[in-house]
A and B are shown apart, each in its own frame.
Chain A
């Protein structure tokens, strides 16, 4: 639609403000007041996006958010491949999150790797009434017998656990002792805690701190010889292989990646991370907590980076290299030069097809801001964005480094708001999740899932950028979008001249 070329920034701002007022009119007064704080138009130069965030979702509005369990089991812990993650409680939570996040890993599933298995305590009424601790004890025993090569167990609490007063910490301690100090991690990520997935990330980070790191003494030796170039990738879930197409760049510039958190990660990698010289942090939202902890406790600096799109990749490679000596700095330049021809070819091929196209985003974690650069590298413009579970520090980063003046900002958007916004703004592409995908496609708006990469990927790194460009092109330029209107409905009915 290329709104920017036909409308001035002032016009866009006025339109967006009017749009916000329009959607607020549907709500009962109390709700309108609360929602108004989450919607705004970005003003250039401001330190944040002018919205409230990380507050409770309002009942009945169709929030897109999930829960703390989703943040812990689904995001942070689930991808650790050599541990068994018990969805502790009724069957549903584990079932709906079974294998759907595409955290790629290499391993023999069911034997030494367990990411795509659904372990659940499948609570029945008697477990609610009498408590589930005894069942948990038995479950751990059965896991040890049937899955002897597991390297650890986590207990991912579902809602009832915290309500019925189970003591999963006591069970974990006792069973750990019984199994020779085995790593058994209780995680209090009951779904009713907090306002979104976000608290689940935090709780999961804290569980690593308390139940993994605290077992590792600072003097304990890693199983490998340390080098001055050891880094850990933090906050990359290896969706469609993202962490791999990132790792390869870090290694090519001369660094050594000693751990991946948590995509394709292992317990040994978690344990070794305090030996890193630098933690490089992709998803700030979900893993800033443990990064800060490692900085405080082990003195490891951390550095945010962004591997979406060549502009941000170049910036990030140099930023990371800045923590190291000339050898690494040269390595970064070598990597940038190596991939420049690929970048040039991808942009030469796809930019002409995508130039001036507008995008609206609504995603979680880092993506509402991190992917903006990649779109801009292809000549596209993000005209609206919002976080499913962001905090104010996310909106600060967004305002200061990413969005343009006049961008529509919507925090914890409701189904109703998102539909109205897209209907009125008519972007060329919407990037959001599975629950939104078909809504917008029905409306005839091209869509890409920007959580799962719509079953494609990786999107990180240079290799990922080529795939990202291809996918955005195939979404926007698919011939099907020209066929959504029946031809006989497109043309105005011919007048019956003879009858006049």
Chain B
């Protein structure tokens, strides 16, 4: 018996002993009707071939291991970025349980969100009563300052009209007539979580700027010197938004972060559960209409929001998840240009330190081949950083990337000598990536937690950058934007490179002549 009170063995070791191994072998042989091991091996080898890749890429209907989620997740993520705002998702309740779990597993934080819990009768008669009761209950129980409504695919398929439903709910007294209930239709069968982010944010701004669904006067824009910033759907929102605020303050710019969820996803453990924390105040959200300009850090998270803002008379500027030297330069110069403020020496020194670090370590990264997958902007930002490190982002795959993204990626590759052998793969999934890694191997893979399956199957070491990251802790607290964020990404990549070199050179008496103490 392997178990003991002295040294408790859990699943990591318990099942490796002979008792369990024998048991599992018998189970398989006797009862599982297993495939011939030779056949399993043959198929496993076949899945590594160019022939398999061709069949795999010919898929038209099946998706296997996609790197995207659905719209309402993004809507919830954006909504909690406003002061004391409760996201309310109209439709089936299981969806909300999923969004909350997903966000909690990534941030290791509570995630508060309610559902209108629609069931069969609502499918037949519509979910109006669920909305009426739901808003009243949420308002009374959780005392929000705003309830931001989005939809699951169920409510979208049956065609529930949020605008009318919210109006009726207010007439029925669910919430006060002047209580803010912005909304966005977020069908899961259109786009992905980045689309949902976009729709929800646009819905909130539209609510405040354009007369609160016909219940108030539209805001008259009175331009001021402020700059709005939109982070987009971002697993690093905690670290990134705080870094952005620091940069704004160094430049002396007055700013509004729209959908600032950096605090609500990073609350202290001090005896109090803060269901709401931080966030863009509703007043700031409304007054953001007066800003001089709005900057989006992620173009594909704000495809509808930015034109909406531009229509209100502001300059809008979009970046693609700026990581590294040049992307940060461009971001800072845009801030400087718009605000008329000089970039302070302190940031120039930070820039110099990042360039210094890249120069110090360049020899280890130069020429290394990478595969990247993730949201379209994240892929772009990381690929651009790799190119300036002299590395080659050979495969860049975005399940929720489209044709325009592909063209933009290819243009980026075309702009660098290190991008000549690189390709962008829009709309593909991680089973496609598996074929790419077998048939055109690279040195490292960058992606979210699910990349570990690719690491296991193909042996490509995984550098975890993306969303979700479930199996490593706390990285979301550190920025990847700004020069300091670039430094964090650099170190993350370097650590993996050095770990791999050490792993490959530590066989005593065989390879350990290269097991160097200085690298």
Instruction: Assess whether B65 is in contact with A142, with CB atoms less than 8 Å apart.
Output: no
- Of the stretches A206-214, A280-288, A436-444, the one at the interface is A436-444
Instruction: Assess whether A195 is in contact with B119, with CB atoms less than 8 Å apart.
Output: yes
Residues of B contacting A486 with CB < 8 Å?
270
Instruction: Assess whether A456 is in contact with B10, with CB atoms less than 8 Å apart.
Output: yes
Instruction: Assess whether A90 is in contact with B105, with CB atoms less than 8 Å apart.
Output: no
Residues of B contacting A424 with CB < 8 Å?
none
A467 within 8 Å of B by Cβ?
Answer: yes
Instruction: Assess whether B188 is in contact with A435, with CB atoms less than 8 Å apart.
Output: no
Q: Which of chain A's residues 34-81 have a Cβ closer than 8 Å to chain B?
A: 56-70
Instruction: Assess whether A69 is in contact with B94, with CB atoms less than 8 Å apart.
Output: yes
A-B contact count (CB 8 A): 353
Instruction: Assess whether A91 is in contact with B110, with CB atoms less than 8 Å apart.
Output: no
Please, how many residues of chain B have a CB less than 8 angstroms from a CB on the other chain?
A: 110
Which one of A66, A110, A244 lies within 8 Å of B15 (CB-CB)? A244
Q: Which of chain A's residues 239-288 have a Cβ closer than 8 Å to chain B?
A: 240-241, 244-245, 247-248, 251, 257-260, 264, 266-269, 272
Q: Which of chain A's residues 88-105 have a Cβ closer than 8 Å to chain B?
A: 89-93, 95-100, 104
Instruction: Assess whether A128 is in contact with B95, with CB atoms less than 8 Å apart.
Output: no
Q: Which of chain B's residues 96-127 have a Cβ closer than 8 Å to chain A?
A: 97-102, 104-105, 108-120, 122-123
Which one of B19, B63, B73, B91 lies within 8 Å of A119 (CB-CB)? B63
Instruction: Assess whether A28 is in contact with B24, with CB atoms less than 8 Å apart.
Output: no
> Most chain-A Cβ atoms within 10 A of its Cβ — which of B59, B109, B153, B272?
B153
- Of the stretches B34-42, B240-248, B476-484, the one at the interface is B34-42
Which one of B14, B35, B64 lies within 8 Å of A463 (CB-CB)? B14
Cα(A149)–Cα(B27), bound, Å:
19
Cα(A31)–Cα(B140), bound, Å:
11
Cα(A127)–Cα(B156), bound, Å:
13
Cα(A240)–Cα(B63), bound, Å:
28
Instruction: Assess whether B142 is in contact with A90, with CB atoms less than 8 Å apart.
Output: no
Q: Which of chain A's residues 327-348 have a Cβ closer than 8 Å to chain B?
A: 338-339, 342, 345-346, 348
Instruction: Assess whether A96 is in contact with B110, with CB atoms less than 8 Å apart.
Output: no
Instruction: Assess whether A26 is in contact with B140, with CB atoms less than 8 Å apart.
Output: yes
CB distance from A287 to the nearest CB of B (A): 18
Instruction: Assess whether B134 is in contact with A59, with CB atoms less than 8 Å apart.
Output: yes
- Of the stretches B1-9, B324-332, B339-347, B439-447, the one at the interface is B1-9
Residues of B contacting A462 with CB < 8 Å?
3
CB distance from B117 to the nearest CB of A (A): 5
Residues of B contacting A416 with CB < 8 Å?
141-142
Which one of B68, B112, B123 lies within 8 Å of A91 (CB-CB)? B68
Instruction: Assess whether B30 is in contact with A142, with CB atoms less than 8 Å apart.
Output: no
A318 within 8 Å of B by Cβ?
Answer: no
Residues of B contacting A106 with CB < 8 Å?
24, 28
A470 within 8 Å of B by Cβ?
Answer: yes
Instruction: Assess whether B101 is in contact with A435, with CB atoms less than 8 Å apart.
Output: yes
Cα(A224)–Cα(B26), bound, Å:
12
Residues of A contacting B360 with CB < 8 Å?
none
A297 within 8 Å of B by Cβ?
Answer: no
Interface magnitude class on chain A: 35 or more
9 tightest CB-CB pairs across the interface, nearest first? Answer: A67-B94, A92-B70, A59-B134, A60-B134, A268-B33, A96-B98, A345-B5, A90-B188, A60-B137
User: Can you list, as one digit per residue, whether each of A396-417 has a CB less than 8 Å from chain B (1) or not (0)?
Assistant: 0000000000000000001110
Cα(A145)–Cα(B60), bound, Å:
13
A2 within 8 Å of B by Cβ?
Answer: no
Residues of B contacting A223 with CB < 8 Å?
33
Which one of A151, A195, A466 lies within 8 Å of B5 (CB-CB)? A466
CB distance from B43 to the nearest CB of A (A): 5
A230 closest partner in B (C-beta): B31
B141 closest partner in A (C-beta): A416
A57-B93 CB under 8 A given contacts A195-B119, A348-B5, A466-B4: yes
Instruction: Assess whether A438 is in contact with B14, with CB atoms less than 8 Å apart.
Output: no
Residues of A contacting B93 with CB < 8 Å?
57, 63, 65-67
Instruction: Assess whether A122 is in contact with B457, with CB atoms less than 8 Å apart.
Output: no
Cα(A470)–Cα(B12), bound, Å:
15
Instruction: Assess whether A138 is in contact with B31, with CB atoms less than 8 Å apart.
Output: no
A232 closest partner in B (C-beta): B31
Instruction: Assess whether A268 is in contact with B32, with CB atoms less than 8 Å apart.
Output: yes
A241-B95 CB under 8 A given contacts A60-B88, A163-B158, A438-B109: no
B403 within 8 Å of A by Cβ?
Answer: no
A159 within 8 Å of B by Cβ?
Answer: yes
A→B interface (CB under 8 Å): 26-28, 30-31, 56-70, 82, 89-93, 95-100, 104, 106, 108-112, 116-125, 127-128, 135-136, 138-139, 142-143, 145-146, 148-149, 151, 158-160, 162-164, 191-195, 197, 223-224, 240-241, 244-245, 247-248, 251, 257-260, 264, 266-269, 272, 338-339, 342, 345-346, 348-350, 414-416, 419, 433-435, 437-444, 456-458, 462-463, 466-467, 469-470, 484-486
B466 within 8 Å of A by Cβ?
Answer: no
B65 closest partner in A (C-beta): A118
Cα(A150)–Cα(B137), bound, Å:
47
Instruction: Assess whether B11 is in contact with A457, with CB atoms less than 8 Å apart.
Output: yes
CB distance from A75 to the nearest CB of B (A): 12
Instruction: Assess whether B59 is in contact with A58, with CB atoms less than 8 Å apart.
Output: no
Instruction: Assess whether B95 is in contact with A67, with CB atoms less than 8 Å apart.
Output: yes
Which one of B3, B10, B117, B189 lies within 8 Å of A59 (CB-CB)? B117
Cα(A437)–Cα(B59), bound, Å:
40
Cα(A414)–Cα(B61), bound, Å:
40
Q: A138-B62, A269-B31, A466-B5 are in contact. List 12 more A-B contacts (CB 8 A).
A: A31-B133, A59-B115, A59-B133, A118-B64, A146-B62, A162-B123, A191-B92, A345-B5, A345-B6, A350-B5, A435-B101, A443-B271
Instruction: Assess whether A149 is in contact with B105, with CB atoms less than 8 Å apart.
Output: no
Cα(A219)–Cα(B453), bound, Å:
42
Instruction: Assess whether B135 is in contact with A435, with CB atoms less than 8 Å apart.
Output: no
Instruction: Assess whether B102 is in contact with A96, with CB atoms less than 8 Å apart.
Output: yes
CB distance from B412 to the nearest CB of A (A): 27
Instruction: Assess whether A120 is in contact with B118, with CB atoms less than 8 Å apart.
Output: no
CB distance from B123 to the nearest CB of A (A): 5
Residues of A contacting B192 with CB < 8 Å?
91
Q: Which of chain B's residues 169-193 have a Cβ closer than 8 Å to chain A?
A: 187-190, 192
Cα(A93)–Cα(B71), bound, Å:
12
CB distance from A369 to the nearest CB of B (A): 22
Instruction: Assess whether A248 is in contact with B20, with CB atoms less than 8 Å apart.
Output: yes
Which one of A27, A97, A160 lies within 8 Å of B154 (CB-CB)? A160
Instruction: Assess whether B4 is in contact with A111, with CB atoms less than 8 Å apart.
Output: no
Residues of B contacting A26 with CB < 8 Å?
140-141
A27-B140 CB under 8 A given contacts A96-B98, A159-B92, A484-B269: yes
Residues of A contacting B190 with CB < 8 Å?
124-125
Instruction: Assess whether A192 is in contact with B118, with CB atoms less than 8 Å apart.
Output: yes
Residues of A contacting B270 with CB < 8 Å?
442, 444, 484-486
